[in-house]
Structure 1
Amino acid sequence: MIISGDDPASKGAQRFEVFTGAGKRRDWPPEVKASIVAECYSGRESVSAVARRHGLDPSQVYAWRRDLRKRLEAEGVVLPLVEPEAVAFVPAVIEPSAVPDPAPTRRPRRRRRTAAAAVELEIDGVAVKIGRDADAGVISAVIEALRATR
């Protein structure tokens, strides 16, 4: 039983969404699909990067690849398996220099710590720390501002 005034339709809109864009599904011509799928097989970019550049979801591009593969296999064309390139290390060759570099004469730089505050004020429970490089005008302005808040 619905009591009038309790159903969602009588309360009015509770949430409002605005959708922008074409508002319909895009229809991709077969030539465009084939070029996008070919970009994925070029090996220069990942499927996700290609899809992102064309405003597509990667799953859509994977579906197009699967459909193309099935269509070609139905026609008797067997696609070669593309195996990812094996990761290999590049050998490093270190040649000794003719003159060895002298040991550094400089001392290593120390990390600079933050300087402690030069002035620490607490007025009515409000604590303020003022750095060493603050001028007298800034310090007096802070003190006056703290006094004015009381």
Structure 2
Amino acid sequence: MFTGAGKRRNCPPEVKVSIVAESYSGQESISAVARRHAMSPSQLFTWRRELRKQMEAQGLALPATSAVAPLFVPAVVEPSPPSNVGPVGRRPRRRRRSSPGAVELEIDGVAVKISRGADKGLIAAVIEALKATR
């Protein structure tokens, strides 16, 4: 856990176990859990690995976590109303065209373009990353 520049804080074992258990809940990404507890994701991955090794040494196994299917919102396409306002002394800006079959998402000012044939795992990872930044 971080407490400032180069300082470490000793975490009681029961707190470590609680944070690791939370990371296995499947409710959030490991990075989100780590952020909430003011620690780096790599530290949480290390704690998970250490727990897994301890349990395997005792002949126990961690329960398998089920991958949560990505949630998609329905797209709503509304025609834009015709604009009667003409340009006022400026040339209209050219808009970049999307490639055919591409999807563009803009969430909280972050624009992402997903091309045709993109891997669904990659798409899910991008959406999770965008959700985690909220």
TM-score (norm. length: structure 1): 0.45
1:33 equivalenced with 2:12 (yes/no): no
Structure 2: gaps of 5 or more residues: 75-80, 91-134
Aligned to 2:93: none
Query: Which of 33, 40, 43 is residue 57 of structure 1 equivalent to?
Result: 40
Aligned to 2:56: 73
Rounded Cα–Cα distance in structure 2 between residues aligned with 1:36 and 1:111:
58
Aligned to 1:110: 83
Give the secondary structure class of the aligned counterpart of 1:72: helix
Task: State, as a whole percentage, how many aligned pairs show the same letter.
Answer: 57
Number of aligned residue pairs: give it. Answer: 82
After superposition, give the CA deviation of every residue in 1:94-144 in whole Å (9 maximum; x if it has no partner). xxxxxxxxxxxxxx4226344238xxxxxxxxxxxxxxxxxxxxxxxxxxx
Structure 1: gaps of 5 or more residues: 1-19, 93-107, 118-150
Rounded Cα–Cα distance in structure 2 between residues aligned with 1:40 and 1:50:
6
Check the 8 A contact 2:52/2:62 in 1, yes or no. yes
Aligned to 1:43: 26
After superposition, give the CA deviation of every residue in 1:10-39 in whole Å (9 maximum; x if it has no partner). xxxxxxxxxx93753111111111111111
* Larger CA Rg, structure 1 vs 2: 1
Rounded Cα–Cα distance in structure 2 between residues aligned with 1:61 and 1:44:
16
Distance change (3 Å), C-alpha of 1:53 and 1:113: farther
Give the secondary structure class of the aligned counterpart of 1:21: coil
